[in-house]
Structure 1
Amino acid sequence: MTTTEPVHVQTVEGFGTVTIDRVDPDRDAALLHGWVNEDRARFWGMGGTTVEQVRDVYAHLDSLTTHHGYLARRNGEPVALFQTYDPEADRVGECYDVLPGDIGVHLLVAPTAAPEPGFSGGLLTALIDFALTGRARVVAEPDAANEKAIARLVRAGFELGPEVVLPEVDLPEVFIPEKKARLAFLSR
């Protein structure tokens, strides 16, 4: 097992300590496979993948300088998959005027046996602080049909932008189908 120094550690009052590490495709593929294949993760777009396919996706992501995958832990327990990316190097950059200092994000919260009031708010506090390090604005683009994610972003202070159609990406390394998304922005 590979171990690396966390890229961010933050104690959130009333929530716990959030540690953010780069995804290690070999170490984390089985865990992430379980998460992305649940019905609740249908908007993540990786349902039906194998452990090897998940490993390959995150190995490809790890090879990029513009896109990064992170595993967030709360008090040592894995609780979320968090991805950041440069919007100018992503399909979302074709859908809005990218500003200097923008950073795009994707978040998949791990499944849990019982919902915990305040959990996503506490987690988002640390993830947003991390994303805004050296940046001016966070851009999210959840699926337009993902009402829960959109409502959560609004509660976290994001301003909703327009609905857009993210174009299909069809490259030898990756295929991502066209997606109707709702843009959301949070400035420092």
Structure 2
Amino acid sequence: MSTTPFSRTDAALGGFAVRPLDPLTDAELLHGWVTHPKASFWMMQDHSLTDVEREYMAIAASEHHHAFLGLHDGRPAFLMESYDPAHVELVDLYEPEPGDVGMHFLVAPTDTPVSGFTRAVITTVMAALFADPAVRRVVVEPDVRNTAVHALNEVVGFVPEREIAKPEKTALLSFCTREQFEAAVAGVSGAEVSI
């Protein structure tokens, strides 16, 4: 995915946008998110603020991995990462195809959840990825135990392929083509996207 900012309007929940992450100015915010108990599958629970800064500085320096801050009505609301699975995360674990892009996302913890919000976030993330015409398929590798994200992935068109063994987890390798995403969100109230 390019590092161009992206925005869309959700009919029910308003404006969503994605901008490149600034590892230094955004690190304190991210630290609170990634160390929150609800972010256990992000595997950064014990990270210090300095650890988080270093992690995202390394991503910023990589040509194969990018981090973005997601906004809802102008306020920080989620974290998004894209990566080239031929070089990051999935090297030698599957056969990458031209146009593949890997994705991670994390919704900011909240004490006042909003119905449909996480679905709107993943729809925004997917629309942002597919806004790049070079992207043909999104690849994800969530922890097999993360049943909530598996269900959410299915809503936007992901199809599980198989379990894979990564050093830090057993993951469910899943794919979503542009056509599968468009079909999944077509006619869904509040999920209008144009890509």
TM-score (norm 1): 0.88
Structure 2 partner of 1:65: 63
1:75, CA displacement in angstroms?
0.3
1:6, CA displacement in angstroms?
6.0
Higher relative contact order (CA 8 A, sep 6+): 2
RMSD over aligned Cα atoms: 1.3
Aligned mates of 1:125, 1:182 — CA distance in 2: 20
How many residues align? The count is 174
Local SS of the residue matching 2:46: coil
Correspondence 1:131 to 2:121: no
Deviation digits for residues 121-164 of structure 1 (CA, Å, limit 9, x no counterpart): 21222210111122000111111111111111112221111010
Structure 2 partner of 1:45: 43
Structure 2 partner of 1:184: 174
Aligned mates of 2:47, 2:70 — CA distance in 1: 22
Instruction: Judge conservation of contact 1:12–1:125 (CA < 8 Å) in 2.
Output: no
- Residues 82-161 of structure 1 aligned to structure 2 (within 5 Å): 82-132=80-130, 133-134=132-133, 135-161=135-161
Aligned mates of 2:139, 2:91 — CA distance in 1: 10
1:12, CA displacement in angstroms?
2.0
Aligned mates of 1:15, 1:139 — CA distance in 2: 26
Aligned mates of 2:26, 2:53 — CA distance in 1: 8
Partner of residue 27 from structure 1, selected from 10, 25, 28:
25
Structure 2 partner of 1:171: none
Aligned mates of 2:163, 2:68 — CA distance in 1: 27
Deviation digits for residues 14-35 of structure 1 (CA, Å, limit 9, x no counterpart): 2211111111011111100001
Deviation digits for residues 19-61 of structure 1 (CA, Å, limit 9, x no counterpart): 1111101111110000111111111011111111100100010
Aligned mates of 1:109, 1:91 — CA distance in 2: 21
1:93, CA displacement in angstroms?
3.2
Aligned mates of 1:119, 1:91 — CA distance in 2: 27
Instruction: Judge conservation of contact 1:160–1:182 (CA < 8 Å) in 2.
Output: yes
Can you give the 5+ residue segments of structure 2 that lack an aligned partner in the other structure? Answer: 179-195
Local SS of the residue matching 1:59: helix
Local SS of the residue matching 1:143: coil
Aligned mates of 1:42, 1:122 — CA distance in 2: 21
Deviation digits for residues 70-90 of structure 1 (CA, Å, limit 9, x no counterpart): 000010111111000000011
Local SS of the residue matching 1:87: coil
